[in-house]
Amino acid sequence: MEQSGEKLTYAEAIDRAGDAIHRFPLVEVRGVPLMEHIANNWDAIWAFRPHPSDLLISTYPKAGTTWTQEIVDLLLNNGDADVSKRAPIAVRIPFLEIFSPPPIPSGLDLLKDMEPPRVIKTHLPFQLVPEGFWENKCKVIYVARNAKDNLVSYYHFDRMNLTQPEPGPWEGYIHKFMKGDLGWGSWYEHVKGYWREREKRNILYLFYEDMKENPRREILRIMEYLGLALSDDVIEHIVQLTSFKVMKDNPMANYSFIPMPVFDQSISPFMRKGEVGDWANHFTPEQAKVFDEDYARQMKDADIPFRASI
């Protein structure tokens, strides 16, 4: 990546950012709490104009973004593992709204150096996605994960991502999640926002649990949505390359390219467990009861077929 004419790796850029890296507070943008640097650069993010051929992968944090990014990158490159190892996943598929202390490149910095068609990652809720994506009828893949597993994954991520607010104790974190008091706001509003718009906007709405249950089936759905036709052998290869185990050992996908002091993977690895139902190892029966009652209230106006076990 290029900064002022000089090519820096993520590790070098993070090293240069030095003391500017810490746990940033959340600042609201149109009622949605976002990391401070994102909020401070909101006008530039909102003004982003995609090309009609650009593809957006959108998720609430920790819903299966990286997995889907790797699948899409491999599908677009005919399952060629060497091509998909050309750069870290965050460079191959930039994170639209991310802004960090310089010289760490922003998502917009990376995007301006790429020719369309580009694949772009976002965690923005539907209403904060720059309007050009809808005006240009860009393809959008949305991935949703059941609330309790999503919460568990986010909790461990907030422990190891030293640029996110302190997660605090587990019990309190459950309540922050229920209130939407986390980066990118309410899980409930996020999954509902895209669900309501999915048909009108031609959004491919996927579930993490379906991907775990039958990755081949879901990879084929993505392939068809992208208008591709790959051979069975290539699809099988992509299924293998995007298994949790293989991605965990892939330095271009497992976020080992984002070192301390941003990610401390000794606290919790980015590729942590990759399972459906790990929530049962975290929630007490009483916590699950409180959560489920609140869930019924918050989700009563939507009928989204989430599964917390498979």
> Would you please indicate which residues are annotated as catalytic (active-site) residues?
123
Q: Does 61 bind ligand PPS (CB under 6 A)?
A: yes
Phi, psi of 186 (to 5 degrees): -80, 125
3-state secondary structure of 209: helix
Q: Is 174 helix (H, G, I), strand (E, B) or coil?
A: helix
Least separation in angstroms between residue 276's CB and ligand PPS is 9
Q: Binding ligand PPS by CB under 6 A: which of 106, 153, 250, 256?
A: 153
Strand 2-3 and strand 6-7: the pairing is: antiparallel
Binding string, residues 270-299; x marks residues near ligand PPS by CB under 6 A: -xxxx---x---------------------
Give yes or no for residue 122 binding ligand PPS (CB under 6 A).
Answer: no
Judged by beta carbon, residue 136 or residue 309, the one nearer ligand PPS is: 309
Choosing from 63, 138, 174, 178, the residue that interacts with ligand PPS (CB under 6 A) is 63
Residue 202-241 contact track with ligand PPS, rule CB under 6 A, x = bound? ----------------------------------------
Residue 208 is inside which H or E element, if any?
A: helix 208-213
Nearest to 123 by CA among 69, 51, 53: 69
Identify whether the C-beta of residue 162 lies closer than 8 Å to the C-beta of residue 302. no
> 129-132, long-range: CB within 8 Å, 24+ apart, which pairs?
129/56, 129/58, 130/45, 130/46, 130/47, 130/48, 130/49, 130/50, 130/96, 132/48, 132/49, 132/50
Nearest in space to 121 (alpha carbons), one of 98, 150, 144: 98
Residues 1, 29, 38, 62: which binds ligand PPS (CB under 6 A)? 62
Q: Is 180 one of the binding residues for ligand PPS (CB under 6 A)?
A: no
Which range in 4-12, 45-53, 266-274, 288-296 contacts ligand PPS by CB under 6 A?
266-274
Binding site for ligand PPS (CB under 6 A): 59, 61-67, 153, 156, 242-244, 247, 271-274, 278
